[in-house]
A and B are shown apart, each in its own frame.
Chain A
């Protein structure tokens, strides 16, 4: 598996990352290196091996249905560049 120039541009767009033109080629090379590195795993025979869902032998933790969190609007909004009347205020997004 490898990525071409168009795929790099597409991934950048989907990730909302602004990419200067001269960065596209180098990124393509870096991504392909990463892919090739991971692809070494293809060399392992995994017939009869169930897909692993976690590296730890443990099961999902469940919690009781109780209200135990929230009511901290000030904290939640603390890092917002703009907030008004208790809302996050973001640049207008209209479809």
Chain B
């Protein structure tokens, strides 16, 4: 990864009665691996099926069933490690993490404790205004997801659905490098972007395919790390940011009142804006890890890692650098475009189509194309609540519109109207321009006549202009544009009026 800037974010603090406190945050993100079947069984991973239908006897932990590892899941974990610039461990091992819960039929989760498949890596955050930050990744390990418990369906029973039981998860553990809610949000978003680019997790937090456990502690500047609390299962970027501040405030209040922090697991309640202790299930943390005797160590060679590397697409950081270096896009435009895989792809397609239509170099039209995508198009999609995959204007249709503008057929102002009509009617830009007679007036003679008329119609403004009120040029341009119904090239009108007013 290339370091483009070294501007570190200023230290974020929360003000307490005794002065400012720093916060220290580390995150454990559980990302459901995209695969057709589960980590250790051939049952489907598809979401939203009938309860207990995507369950094999392995997932239900029937006696005598044995786990067999899914090759694709191993590849997905390696791809993720490579995308995070991380060390790939060609030898790793599965351990049993023992605990009892109704949605864990085995009585243990198969996980990787001592020897994870991926070691240290890093994630580069772009915090806006040129501020960047690198957050270390401690490790990524593979493990089984648990089933799902529903407590509110019956007065006496908890309902358990094992469809999710045994689906592969990557637990991505950060180093405690995060220092503010903003950085935590940026970390989660960036991680999600990368996982979606490389197709190893769909990043869907509402459906729970990406969940975060957030470790929070506070300290005075320069002091060692304080005791941390873990906030479990926070399921949106916004909630992560809120939970960190709420939890840090709670810890500061306790410490300033002379108390101490108990290391414990807590839950964030967004409606009451508080975190609550999960009331320590007695000795719940004694997991008694030991190597799973049903599984041999997970081993692969360099060739396997190389094949995984070859599968990787252009990553968001690389793509952003390319957009800036090769196409001359401003940092901001490039950052917005690469934030979602789909918008980056839309832009690539649109730019290629625009280049094909105009015969110009990509760098000549890239800025215009990027402004269209993150400007008009995003504004419309936001308003309509659509994502770019469901854009009413395809990348090719957008290119047609921009090409018409580029070759002078329509003015920039008219282009905005045409875009509105494209959204409304679904018709291509060329057809709209044709049907509505929106072609720019290219005939200089006609434009001159209109300008003459505008000057003649406004003797009072002409007098003021000649007396030195040159700002009135804008008024004349406006009148002339109005007279042409916006179909004139404003630049041409400007020039003609300037010359005519000087002679009038």
User: Which A residues contact B (CB, under 8 angstroms)?
Assistant: 10, 13-14, 16, 53-54, 58-73, 75-77, 82, 84-95
Contacts and interface: CB of A to CB of B under 8 A. Distances in A.
Nearest to B288: A14
Given A70-B53, A87-B52, 14 more contacts: A60-B69, A60-B298, A62-B68, A65-B37, A65-B70, A65-B72, A68-B42, A86-B50, A87-B51, A87-B153, A87-B159, A87-B161, A91-B156, A93-B151
Interface stretch (B56-64, B178-186, B411-419, B480-488): B56-64
A69 to B, nearest CB: 4
Contacts of B50: 73, 86
B278 A95 contact: yes
Interface string B138-182: 000000000001110110111111100000000000000000000
Given A70-B43, A95-B278, A58 B158 contact: no
A57 B267 CA distance: 46
Nearest to B72: A65
B158 A89 contact: yes
Contact of B283 (A13, A61, A93): A13
Interface in B329-350: none
B157 A67 contact: no
Give the size category of B's interface with A. Answer: 35 or more
A86 B49 CA distance: 11
Contacts of B52: 73, 76-77, 86-88
Contacts of A16: 100
A72 to B, nearest CB: 7
B332 to A, nearest CB: 40
A87 B162 CA distance: 8
A58 to B, nearest CB: 7
Contact of B160 (A61, A69, A90): A90
Chain A binding site: helix, strand, loop or mixed by DSSP? loop
Interface string B47-90: 00011111111111000000011111110000000000000000
B41 interface: yes
A91 B297 contact: no
A75 B57 contact: yes
10 contacts: A14-B286, A63-B42, A67-B37, A70-B44, A70-B53, A75-B57, A89-B160, A91-B157, A92-B156, A92-B158
Given A63-B42, A63-B69, A64-B71, A92 B54 contact: no
Given A13-B282, A92-B157, A65 B55 contact: no
Contact of B44 (A53, A67, A73): A67
B68 A61 contact: yes
B358 interface: no
Nearest to B93: A53
B94 to A, nearest CB: 9
Given A53-B93, A60-B295, A93-B102, A87 B160 contact: yes
B474 to A, nearest CB: 65
B430 interface: no
Contacts of A53: 93, 291, 296-297
A85 B36 contact: no
A62 B304 CA distance: 13
A14 to B, nearest CB: 6
B461 interface: no
A60 B117 CA distance: 14
Contacts of A88: 52, 102, 159-162
A18 to B, nearest CB: 13
Interface in B270-327: 278-279, 281-283, 286, 288, 291, 295-299
B193 interface: no
Nearest to B105: A88
Nearest to A89: B157
Which 3 pairs across A and B sit closest by C-beta, in order of nearness?
A: A70-B43, A65-B72, A68-B42
A63 B157 CA distance: 37
Nearest to B45: A67
Nearest to A88: B160
Given A13-B282, A75-B57, A92-B156, A86 B51 contact: yes
Contacts of B225: none
Contact of B296 (A60, A67, A89): A60
Nearest to B37: A67
Contacts of A87: 51-52, 150, 153, 159-161
Contact of B42 (A58, A67, A86, A90): A67
A70 B59 CA distance: 9
Nearest to B293: A54
Contacts of B51: 73, 85-87
Contacts of A64: 71-72
A93 to B, nearest CB: 5
Contacts of B37: 65-69
B101 interface: yes
B391 interface: no
